[in-house]
Amino acid sequence: MNENLDTFEISQVQLHKACKLMGYDSHIYNALKEPEKFIEIKITMRMDNGETRTFKGFRSQFNSARGPMKGGIRWHPEENESLVKALSAWMTWKCACVDIPLGGAKGGIICNPKELSNAELEKLARNYVRKLSGDIGPNIDIPAPDVYTNPQIMAWMMDEYETIIGKHAPSVITGKPLELGGSAGRSNATAKGGTFCVREAAKDLSKDLKGATVAIQGYGNAGSYAARLLQDEFKCKIIAASDSQGGIYNENGFDANDAFEHKVKTSTVVGLEGTQKISNKELLELECDVLIPAALENVINKSNAANIKAKIIAELANGPTTPAADDILYNKDIIIIPDFLCNAGGVTVSYFEMVQGYYLHFWTEKEVFSSLDKIMTKAYRATVKKAEEHHTDNRMGAYMIAIERVVNAMKLRGWI
Ligand code: NAD
């Protein structure tokens, strides 16, 4: 298997394999493999120092057969067309896998938000919506936060959209602040959904999560909440964590909340008292029960898959495992909870936010998480069953469920 593929090509390799397992012919694969619409924009704006700067942005609208498209907006210096397209494809399969009535999209701007002032962030957010206002909307495409975007940025975007159309339309965007129609539980929904899947995987291994050892790569929104939830609610032992500056390790465990506070104070987990420094590479190969990649793409690949010792890999990050690594891990009997299932909690609670916004009736956090648990558990169980029936891995199980739903919707619409 060629490991030099870009992220979108990797997503297409996965899709092609799943189409073959489903017995679909090349017409169906061709109808599924590219975004319906890909938009590239340029935003030129005056910065605080009086100079003008031009930013490149994207929106990839992958598939709308099952409903309005949904997907986050990522602001990152390494944002690129291939990544946005891949993420929009995974959003499509994610919504279909957990069976919420939405299609998939994704957007982004190439920028480093850490270098921008608050006023510049607001200008960038409003400009992005101005360029895309005809292409997004509650019944068209509904953005949300992703890496380096947050509820405040969603609030500016919603306000700009409502100003353009001249009326309230809170359901144009999700991940909003609670005061503006956000949902309880949205901030840690991705991690929460992932922990429900880990609980189910542990059941399948007849493994008690109490005292189970966990290593987590990436200590941002997804990773740090997962660490704290697994520790506080499931009594797991967090033995390793990392971020872009490196990792920390203690075989007897450390407090996930202390690690979080240490990162807030020093902007890294590295240096937490009572831990030793390890590299990101070492973290992935540690002896542990649960490994959670929650940072970057392609970190588990041909070069390290054979050395992975975890019993469960819960992919909170999008695209952390390459196709070649998938084959190696399957032969080692490691349970993979594939990305677009494992991290579907975020979009599911975004969907709840849309529903609550339509009814102008808001649920408690307990109600949100109880509904989330039902959806995640059902999707996890269906994935494992499908994979077992077809003697394949969970990623292919999840793909088969998702693409069958999308293909059926496309057939009913008369598209294929
Ligand atoms: P984030 O920006 O909050 O956190 C990212 C973390 O990764 C940070 O701790 C950062 O230091 C770390 N990191 C960056 N480069 C690294 C490197 N080279 N090695 C190790 N760690 C590194 O982002 P997030 O929202 O937590 O997203 C993380 C992943 O989860 C992404 O793949 C994202 O698409 C996925 N995801 C997140 C959500 C969500 O709701 N937050 C939903 C679905 C999927």
pLDDT tens, residue by residue, 361-403: 999 999 999 999 999 999 999 999 999 999 999 999 999 999 9
pTM > 0.85: yes or no? yes
Residues 344-355 pLDDT 10s:
999 999 999 999
Q: Which ligand 1 atom lies nearest to the CA of residue 190? A: 40
Active site residues per annotation: 106
Q: From 176, 221, 262, 351, give the residue whose CB has the most ligand 1 atoms within 8 Å, as the site to mutate.
A: 221
Residues pairing with 240 in the sheet: 215, 249
CB 153 less than 6 A from any atom of ligand 1: no
Q: Which ligand 1 atom lies nearest to the CA of residue 299? A: 19
CA distance 301 to 323: 8
CB 142 less than 6 A from any atom of ligand 1: no
The rounded Å distance from CA 184 to ligand 1 centre is 21
Q: Which domains does the chain have, with CATH numbers?
A: 36-173 (3.40.50.10860), 189-337 (3.40.50.720)
CA distance 308 to 354: 39
CB 343 less than 6 A from any atom of ligand 1: yes
CA distance 173 to 276: 42
Q: Which residues have a Cβ under 8 Å from the Cβ of 301 and sit 6 or more positions away?
A: 3, 321, 322, 324, 325
Residues 229-258 pLDDT 10s:
999 999 999 999 999 999 999 999 999 999
Query: Given this model, what pLDDT does residue 1 score?
Result: 58
The rounded Å distance from CA 94 to ligand 1 centre is 18
Query: Given this model, what pLDDT does residue 141 score?
Result: 98
2 pLDDT band (50/70/90 cuts)? low
CA distance 67 to 69: 6
Q: Which ligand 1 atom lies nearest to the CA of residue 319? A: 32
